[in-house]
């Protein structure tokens, strides 16, 4: 498999169909790297022509902006926009709802206008086009999957159905948590909480959410965000059910069962 | 005698309207203390929000049972205004049931509808009282509501019940007098609820009945005028402000955070200094983020005055659910409290005189602000289009950019982003390591 960068394409005088915006978590976090690899595998297998920015990619500035540090956000954003515009990027796909939200909604005010798609929506369109075909006799038959709505995809951008539609192709039983869709409970990582200890309380948010997910009796918790992934994995661990209940990204679930 | 009554009525009505409009002007002034923000784009979408959110109560129906009860109370309020209009005109002109000749056969149908609504309002308010005081729903028990806010809610519900009961009693006495063919109580036809209650007054002499009817009439309208002047001091103000607040609601996706053009330009000049030559020098030092109500936008302050203190935001807030100090409802109540304090200060001093206090710290603590995950659950839940998150973010911006106040972990995260282009301390060269592994 050959994953090419925008620079390589540009050197050959070409532009790829899409840019895969990997994001910091997807690039550096060991667990999230698996999501990145799974999604890259799907893109490769379905023949989507894509590139990454590679070493040229920077943080979008999301955690800095949410924490209140607009200066750092602006520095990151303006640099990224210069780079993206230089490469003439039109279409971006990302597996991180935070990158998705900020690229789609907040970069335009700074001169960065792109068609930005979250990987779950992209996967759904690949399924609709018949490019993704799942193995027969799915390994999930008879198993329960519960889906955790990330705040930045769900409430933030009103995307609730695409990820569920993708999960339906797995032939598993989709069970909902009590708090789902627009009433979904945050994993506890957003707003730069990922990068600091929680304030004092009676419990941690990810423990509350992990418990709620485990209580559905599902053997898989499907996530769409590398940060939710980390938080929920820890939350499930707290319940002592980490051997029975796996947290997997929707891209990983699809990659596992590609024909 | 009749002239005296008319005179008394006109004085009471005039005083009530005068006091109310004075207070409304003060609230308007307080809201406009906030910085300017242009929210007049897409009028079509904005009117749609007014229709759906304010008139249609769309978000209330996220909790259907309560929504139905609330709808009774709300419809009762809106529609009964027609009946109040008649009362006011009767009061000023010294007439009785002025609309009977105008509306004819429609009149008893309308009044009957109001009466049914009145019964539903009494029912709704009674259930709401039970929910607050006997069932003790968690969001009504939280410490945000200790003291005045809790009594305020009860006063409103009790007043509404009393006003409706006065209305029904008045009509019942009136119906009985009509049955007796009294000259002054013109025949209107049967009212649905009070018509069946009229027989209670069978044994009472005319004089007592007239006294009951007049007393209820006066108490009903004086109660309404008093309630009108209670509104601006109460969470009940939402019955008015929900409408403009829905019009000026944010239209962007919830995930989108407001840009800061001042910072954008500074960074732009830093990254492309060649632009600096053509840039006019900024006037004075720009302020980053918000420390007090003056730094918030007028929409944030309108939000604060529109808040019903229902606590749906806090009940959905992940930080609040897990016992942190943050309560989005408290953020809104604090903002309103501060705006009111500033308003009183202006009333006393002619212009705002520094009182050594600010919204940040004197009302809202850093601990509360730090606990927010920006998940938008509070914004999603608010039935009247309030964004507590918008205020939280502006206060966070002040803390970080004006005071360099951030938890040590965040400071580390900031410098990692600045130096390593990622919130973690990894080498930039390793960013595509996963790809190299796949390429092998």
pLDDT of residue B1: 63
> Given pLDDT bands bounded at 50, 70 and 90, which one contains residue A141?
confident
Scan for tokens 């032939």, then name that residue. A171
Chain B residues in contact with A156 by the CB 8 A cut-off are: 253-256, 376
Average pLDDT for chain A? 96
Residues 6+ away with beta carbon under 8 Å from B18 = none
Residues 6+ away with beta carbon under 8 Å from B127 = B69
Chain A residues in contact with B434 by the CB 8 A cut-off are: 22, 26-27, 33, 36-37
Question: What CA–CA distance (Å, rounded) separates B313 from B328?
Answer: 6
Q: Nearest CB to B422: which of A52, A59, A203?
A: A59
> Given pLDDT bands bounded at 50, 70 and 90, which one contains residue B274?
confident
- Whether B414 sits inside 8 A of A40 (CB atoms) is no
Decide if A178 touches B, using CB distance below 8 A: no
Q: Nearest CB to A151: which of B376, B417, B428?
A: B376
Q: CA of B198 to nearest chain A CA: how many angstroms apart? A: 49
pLDDT in tens, A94-112: 999 999 999 999 999 999 9
- Whether B322 sits inside 8 A of A110 (CB atoms) is no
> Given pLDDT bands bounded at 50, 70 and 90, which one contains residue B355?
very high
- Whether B375 sits inside 8 A of A186 (CB atoms) is yes
pLDDT in tens, A203-237: 999 999 999 999 999 999 999 999 999 999 999 99
Decide if A63 touches B, using CB distance below 8 A: yes
- Whether A69 sits inside 8 A of B399 (CB atoms) is no
pLDDT of residue A235: 97
Read off the pLDDT of each residue in A121-147 and give the average, rounded to a whole number: 89
> Given pLDDT bands bounded at 50, 70 and 90, which one contains residue B116?
very high
> Given pLDDT bands bounded at 50, 70 and 90, which one contains residue B79?
confident
Residue A138 pLDDT exceeds 80: no
Chain B residues in contact with A193 by the CB 8 A cut-off are: 373
Chain B residues in contact with A200 by the CB 8 A cut-off are: 323-325, 367
Residue B279 pLDDT exceeds 80: no
Percent of chain B with pLDDT over 90: 87
Contact assessment for residue B428 and residue A214, using Cβ atoms and an 8 Å cutoff: no
Residue A136 pLDDT exceeds 80: no
pLDDT of residue A239: 96
> Given pLDDT bands bounded at 50, 70 and 90, which one contains residue B227?
very high
Read off the pLDDT of each residue in B196-211 and give the average, rounded to a whole number: 92
Decide if A54 touches B, using CB distance below 8 A: yes
- Whether A64 sits inside 8 A of B266 (CB atoms) is no
Q: Nearest CB to B410: which of A5, A26, A67?
A: A67
pLDDT of residue B89: 93
- Whether B424 sits inside 8 A of A24 (CB atoms) is yes
Q: Nearest CB to A1: which of B289, B414, B438?
A: B438
SS3 label, residue A175? strand
* Beta-carbon pairs below 8 A across chains A and B: 224
Which helix (H) or strand (E) segment is B436 a member of? Answer: helix B433-439
Q: What is the DSSP string of B257-302?
A: PPP-HHHHHHHHHHH-GGGGGGSPPPSSPPP-S-SSGGGSBHHHHH
């Amino acid at each position: 498999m050959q994953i090419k960068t925008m620079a390589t394409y540009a050197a050959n005088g070409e532009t790829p169909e899409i840019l895969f915006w990997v994001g910091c978590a997807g690039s550096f976090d060991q667990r999230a790297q698996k999501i990145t690899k799974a999604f890259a595998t799907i893109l490769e297998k379905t023949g989507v022509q894509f590139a990454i920015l590679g070493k040229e990619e920077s943080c979008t500035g999301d955690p800095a902006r949410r924490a209140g540090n607009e200066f750092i956000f602006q520095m990151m954003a303006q640099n990224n926009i210069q780079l993206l515009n230089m490469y003439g990027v039109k279409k971006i796909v990302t597996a991180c709802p935070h990158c998705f939200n900020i690229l789609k909604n907040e970069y335009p005010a700074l001169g960065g206008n792109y068609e930005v798609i979250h990987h779950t929506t992209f996967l759904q369109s690949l399924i609709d086009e018949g490019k993704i075909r799942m193995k027969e006799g799915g390994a999930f038959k008879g198993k329960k999957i519960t889906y955790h709505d990330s705040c930045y995809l769900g409430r933030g951008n009103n995307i609730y159905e695409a990820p569920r539609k993708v999960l339906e192709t797995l032939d598993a039983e989709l069970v909902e948590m009590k708090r789902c869709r627009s009433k979904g409970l945050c994993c506890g990582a957003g707003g730069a909480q990922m990068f600091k200890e929680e304030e004092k309380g009676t419990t941690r948010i990810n423990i509350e959410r992990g418990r709620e997910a485990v209580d559905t009796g599902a053997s898989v918790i499907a996530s769409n965000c590398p940060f939710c992934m980390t938080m929920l994995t820890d939350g499930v661990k707290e319940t002592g059910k980490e051997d029975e209940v796996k947290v997997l990204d929707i891209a990983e679930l699809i990659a596992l069962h590609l024909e | 005698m009749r002239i005296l009554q008319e005179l008394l009525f006109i004085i009471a009505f005039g005083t009530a309207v005068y006091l109310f409009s004075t207070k409304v002007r003060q609230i308007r002034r307080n809201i406009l203390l906030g910085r300017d923000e242009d929210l007049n784009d897409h009028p079509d979408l904005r009117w749609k929000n007014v229709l759906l959110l304010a008139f249609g109560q769309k978000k209330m129906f996220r909790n259907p049972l309560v929504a139905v009860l609330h709808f009774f109370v709300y419809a009762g309020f809106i529609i009964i205004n027609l009946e109040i209009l008649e009362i006011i005109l009767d009061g000023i002109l010294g007439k009785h049931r002025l609309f009977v000749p105008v509306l004819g056969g429609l009149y008893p149908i309308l009044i009957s509808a109001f009466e049914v609504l009145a019964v539903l309002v009494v029912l709704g308010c009674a259930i709401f009282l039970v929910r607050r005081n006997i069932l003790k729903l968690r969001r009504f028990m939280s410490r945000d509501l200790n003291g005045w806010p809790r009594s305020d809610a009860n006063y409103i519900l009790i007043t509404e019940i009393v006003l409706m009961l006065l209305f029904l009693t008045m009509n019942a006495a009136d119906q009985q007098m009509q049955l007796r063919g009294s000259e002054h109580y013109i025949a209107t036809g049967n009212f649905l609820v009070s018509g069946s209650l009229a027989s209670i007054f069978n044994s009472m002499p005319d004089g007592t009945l007239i006294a009951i009817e007049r007393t209820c009439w006066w108490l009903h309208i004086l109660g309404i005028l008093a309630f009108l002047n209670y509104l601006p001091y109460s969470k009940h103000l939402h019955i008015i402000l929900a409408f403009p607040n829905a019009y000026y609601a944010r239209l962007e996706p919830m995930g989108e955070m407001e840009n800061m053009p001042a910072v954008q330009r500074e960074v732009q000049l830093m990254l492309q200094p060649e632009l600096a030559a053509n840039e006019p020098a900024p006037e004075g030092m720009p302020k980053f983020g918000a420390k007090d109500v003056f730094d918030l936008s007028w929409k944030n302050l309108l939000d604060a005055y529109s808040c019903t203190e229902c606590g749906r935001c806090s009940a959905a807030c992940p930080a609040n659910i897990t016992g942190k100090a943050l309560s989005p409802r408290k953020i809104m109540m604090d903002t309103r409290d501060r705006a009111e304090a500033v308003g009183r200060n202006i009333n006393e001093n002619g212009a705002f005189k520094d009182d050594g206090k600010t919204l940040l710290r004197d009302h809202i603590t850093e601990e509360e602000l730090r606990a927010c995950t920006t998940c938008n659950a509070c914004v999603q839940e608010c039935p009247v289009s309030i964004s507590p998150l918008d205020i939280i973010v502006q206060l966070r911006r002040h803390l970080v950019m004006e005071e360099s106040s951030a938890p040590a972990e965040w400071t580390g995260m900031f410098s990692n982003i600045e130096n390593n282009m990622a919130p973690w301390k990894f080498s930039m060269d390793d960013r595509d390591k996963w790809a190299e592994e796949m390429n092998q």
